[in-house]
Amino acid sequence: MANLEGLYEAILNGKLEQAVEVTNAAIAEGIDPQTIINGYMVKGMEEIGARFEAGKAFVPNLLMSARAMKGALDILKPLLKAENATSAGTIVIGTVKGDLHDIGKNLVASMLEGCGFEVINLGVDVSGEKFVEAAKEHNADIICMSALLTTTMNYMKEVVSAVEAAGIRDKVKIMVGGAPLNNDFAMAIGADGYSSNANDAVAMARRLLSA
């Protein structure tokens, strides 16, 4: 019998192989995929997120958990599609034009993927035009922008304007993050949300899509 508590532990402790093993066993036993996800996997991610916020877990722990979650989700997704289930949402993410900082944006992308979002990672030095094109092509729910320089963060406003000019602002939420930013800046440029770390970005994405 599949040890679903073990799946929760595997996600919490970032054990990919164990997560995959238990997930396969659970499927073989005919356990409902949504029950596996909501009853155990999501709870594991919620717990590691809570530990991170409390300073009891660190970025590498979050990433390991997200990797284990994604590994198990990849197995379950085809089954979910058969049941007409959808992802948590589609997110287009990139570091804005003029900025080549990759890692913070990739941490956020990994966490979002681990938490069930479809993520289209556009990389670095991304123009407003590219953000708009990708948002249209993938029917994105959220555009997520990163900047690490005071000289590049202002380009985010241009992306917001490009999204408005393209006529899709009412269809897509905009989230921003990066070391020199704060919530006041996000609101001033017309974004919908700001997050200061990868864990918070997941919570913000969920909040924006449930609003």
Partner 1 sequence: MSVTVNIPLDSLGIKWERLWEETGNGGYVPEGELLASYNDVIREIKKVCRPAFCYEIIECEGVCDGKLTVGGITLNPGKRIAGYLEKAEKIAVYVGTAGTGFEDYCRELNRSGDVIRAFFADTAGSVIAEAVSSHAFRHISDKEQESGDRTSFPYSPGHCEWPVSDQKFIFALLPDTPCGIRLTDSGLMIPVKSVSGIVGIGKNIERKPFGCAICTFEGCYKKHVKDERHPVD
Contact indicator for 111, 48 with CB cutoff of 8 Å: no
Give per-residue burial for 177-196: e unless 16+ CB within 10 Å, then b.
Answer: bbeebeeebbeebebbbbbe
Tokens of 206: 């969920």
Residue 64 lies near partner 1 (rule: CB under 8 A): yes
Q: Smaller CB distance to partner 1: residue 26 or 200? A: 200
Window 21-60: contact mask with partner 1 (x via CB under 8 A):
----------------------------------x--xxx
Residue 67 as a binder of partner 1 (CB under 8 A): the answer is yes
Residue 196 touching partner 1 (CB under 8 A): yes
Q: Which of residues 160-179 bind partner 1 (CB under 8 A)?
A: 179
Contact status, residue 187 vs residue 160, Cβ threshold 8 Å? no
Edge to edge, what strands does the sheet with 173-177 contain?
118-121, 90-95, 142-146, 173-177, 193-194
Write out the E strands in the chain: 90-95, 118-121, 142-146, 173-177, 193-194
Neighbour tally for 148: CB within 10 Å? 21
* Among 196, 200, 192, residue whose Cα is nearest residue 182: 196
Stretch that binds partner 1, among 18-26, 41-49, 79-87, 147-155 (CB under 8 A): 147-155
Min separation Cβ 85 and partner 1, Å: 25
Measure CA 167 to chain center: 24
In the complex, what is the shortest distance from the CB of residue 78 to partner 1, in angstroms, rounded to a whole number?
Answer: 21
For residues 55 and 78, which CB has a smaller minimum distance to partner 1 in the complex? 55
Binding mask 103-122 for partner 1 (x = CB under 8 A): x--xx-xx------------
Q: Which of 29, 86, 180, 187 binds partner 1 (CB under 8 A)?
A: 180
Site of interaction with partner 1 (CB under 8 A): 14, 55, 58-61, 63-64, 67, 98-103, 106-107, 109-110, 149-152, 179-182, 196
